């Protein structure tokens, strides 16, 4: 048995997220289908993170044990040849038997992109949240600074989260402005469900002047979901990097 590390890119528009579901098309489901076909047996694919429906990835990582030995490029091409063009394995590497894409990960980085132009280019509309207007980026940065560090992020996840421990250490929350593009980059060892999208949605409210930067710190301290802003739309979010 050989353990393989897969680096994966996908357009999440037509997927019901990463995690396999019985009656829905998912990224994990499509990859598992093809790998099972190639290995002539049921395989178990572990992903670094569970992206939501509509969320994209530039470098999702998965690991899988296969009984058949493949050259890394051969496996990449064989899998890609059985997938739709909106899902691709970009790289295959041999991995140590102890490697697990989820449990071996040290940090994940997500990027949320907002476009404030009057019109979004057709090539971009699937990958940015379109907000026609001006956002106060300086105030958004002040709010973002209050979230960096180790906190209980209960206010920024679903009210009935399956995870009892909601403490996470946010190591990075940068906001960059480039013309009509605003990029929010968040990095942490792990994220709660909808955490990045809720942070982005809350920061957008700050940028619109609907709430103050201080209110974001108050929402964090409250640990109450109702005190934070709405989830930003999924299509603006991309998993860009997983560090090991």
Q: Which residues form the catalytic set?
A: 52
Distance CA 137, CA 213 (A): 11
Q: Residue 243: which of 101, 112, 44, 89 has the closest Cα?
A: 101
DSSP symbol at 216: H
- Decide the pairing of beta strands 2-10 and 87-95: antiparallel
Distance CA 231, CA 65 (A): 36
Q: Which residues pair with 111 in a beta bridge?
A: 185, 238
Phi, psi of 191 (to 5 degrees): -125, 150
Per-state percent for the chain, helix, strand, coil, to nearest 5? 25, 30, 40
Q: Which residues pair with 9 in a beta bridge?
A: 88
Q: Residue 170: which of 153, 187, 155 has the closest Cα?
A: 187
Residue whose tokens read 């048995």: 1
Q: Which residues pair with 4 in a beta bridge?
A: 64, 94
**Residue 200 CB-density burial (10 A; 0-12 exposed, 13-18 middle, 19+ buried):** buried
């Amino acid at each position: 048995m050989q353990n393989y590390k897969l680096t994966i890119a996908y357009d999440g528009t037509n997927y019901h997220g990463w995690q396999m579901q019985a009656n829905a098309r998912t990224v994990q489901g499509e990859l598992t289908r093809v790998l099972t076909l190639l290995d002539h047996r049921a395989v178990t694919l572990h992903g670094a993170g569970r992206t939501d429906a509509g969320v994209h990835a530039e470098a999702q990582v998965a690991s899988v044990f296969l009984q058949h030995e493949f050259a890394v490029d051969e496996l990449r091409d064989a899998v890609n040849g059985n997938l739709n063009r909106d899902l691709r394995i970009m790289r295959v590497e041999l991995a140590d038997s102890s490697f697990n894409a989820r449990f071996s990960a040290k940090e994940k980085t997500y990027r949320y992109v907002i476009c404030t132009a009057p019109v979004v280019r057709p090539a971009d509309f699937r990958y940015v949240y379109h907000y026609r207007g001006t956002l106060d980026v300086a105030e958004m940065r002040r709010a973002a600074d209050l979230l960096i560090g180790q906190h209980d992020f209960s206010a920024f996840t679903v009210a009935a989260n399956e995870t009892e421990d909601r403490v996470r250490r946010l190591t990075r929350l940068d906001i960059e402005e480039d013309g009509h593009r605003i990029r929010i980059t968040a990095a942490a060892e792990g994220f709660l469900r909808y955490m990045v999208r809720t942070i982005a949605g809350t920061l957008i409210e700050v940028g619109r002047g609907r709430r103050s930067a201080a209110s974001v710190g108050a929402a964090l301290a409250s640990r109450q979901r109702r005190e934070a802003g709405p989830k930003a739309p999924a299509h603006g979010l991309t998993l860009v990097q997983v560090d090991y």
